[in-house]
Amino acid sequence: MSSFLHTLNRGTARTFRGRNGKSAGPTESLREFAQSTLGSDALREAVKLPPGEDENEWIAVHVVDFHNQINMLYSTITLLCSPTTCPKMTAGDKYEYLWQDSTSTNFRKPTKLSAPEYIENLLNWTHKRFQDPHYFPTELGVEFPSDARGMFQQILKRLFRVYAHIYYHHINQITELNLQPHLNTSLKHFTLFCNQFDLVPKKEFEPLDDLIQCLLEEH
């Protein structure tokens, strides 16, 4: 558990450092990430389980990293995603996502929320899962439970919805910030990883299916 323990401890509150030692802003950090990964065939190899590594731990590390990545990405356009501009959590006209959390008294049944409310609840819910030692054990020698994979799948399925909302409703703003290369690379990495371990059903990717096919065909 040593590598996951290290990732979890730094992951949910990770700070990217600029060359001057000061914290880099979200835009700068995303550009740095894009420059280091865009167009790299290494992504296909990078998602594969390294020899001798525990699969659950490998997946858990990436779940945390994808959460951080999406959180940072969304933070660049959060002022432009409001209950007024985005009154529903949608991906175009065809797909609308309702929020449900069986542990909450307010959201035991699927509930319509604005996009920012949905995403805030999602990111908070995910962060709480990271703090749950049942699903994300941090003690050395403690194994992942048999139902951990189901939790990983649920988290990733919901995180994908943020990608879908951004592409359909905020792509112009992302492009104006010159962050579309990062967005594409992030989605490609996310999709390759999920496909590698069969973590998200194909039907969940339908809102961005054409785009994903184009990204996966790139070399």
* Residue-level pLDDT at 6: 41
* Residue-level pLDDT at 103: 85
CA–CA gap between residue 167 and residue 170 (Å, rounded): 6
Give pLDDT tens digits along the chain (219 positions).
Answer: 434 444 444 344 332 222 233 344 444 544 454 444 445 567 888 899 999 989 999 999 999 999 999 999 999 999 999 999 999 999 999 999 999 998 888 898 999 999 999 999 999 999 999 999 999 988 878 899 999 999 999 999 999 999 999 999 999 999 999 999 999 999 999 999 999 999 999 999 999 999 999 998 865
Q: Positive or negative, the Cα torsion across 29, 188, 155, 61? A: negative
**Is 191 part of a structural domain of the chain?**
yes
Q: Which residues contact 166 (CB under 8 A, 6 or more apart)?
A: 73, 74, 77, 174, 183
**Is 20 part of a structural domain of the chain?**
no
**Is 18 part of a structural domain of the chain?**
no
Q: Which residues contact 115 (CB under 8 A, 6 or more apart)?
A: 81, 86, 87, 88, 89, 90, 165, 169
Q: Which residue ranges make up the annotated binding site?
A: 81, 86, 165, 170
* Residue-level pLDDT at 139: 83
Q: What domain range includes position 64?
A: 2-11+25-217
Taking only Cα atoms into account, the Rg of the chain, rounded to an integer number of angstroms, comes to 17
Q: For residue 4, give the nearest of 54, 45, 38, 39 by alpha carbon.
A: 54
Structural domain count, the chain: 1
Q: Which residue ranges make up the annotated binding site for Zn(2+)?
A: 81, 86, 165, 170
**Is 17 part of a structural domain of the chain?**
no
Cβ atoms within 10 Å of 84's Cβ, excluding its own: 8
**Is 115 part of a structural domain of the chain?**
yes
Chain Cα centroid distance, residue 14: 14
The pTM of the full predicted model, rounded to 2 decimals, is 0.82
**Is 201 part of a structural domain of the chain?**
yes
Q: For residue 114, give the nearest of 67, 73, 169 by alpha carbon.
A: 169
Which CATH number belongs to the domain containing residue 190 in this structure?
1.20.140.30
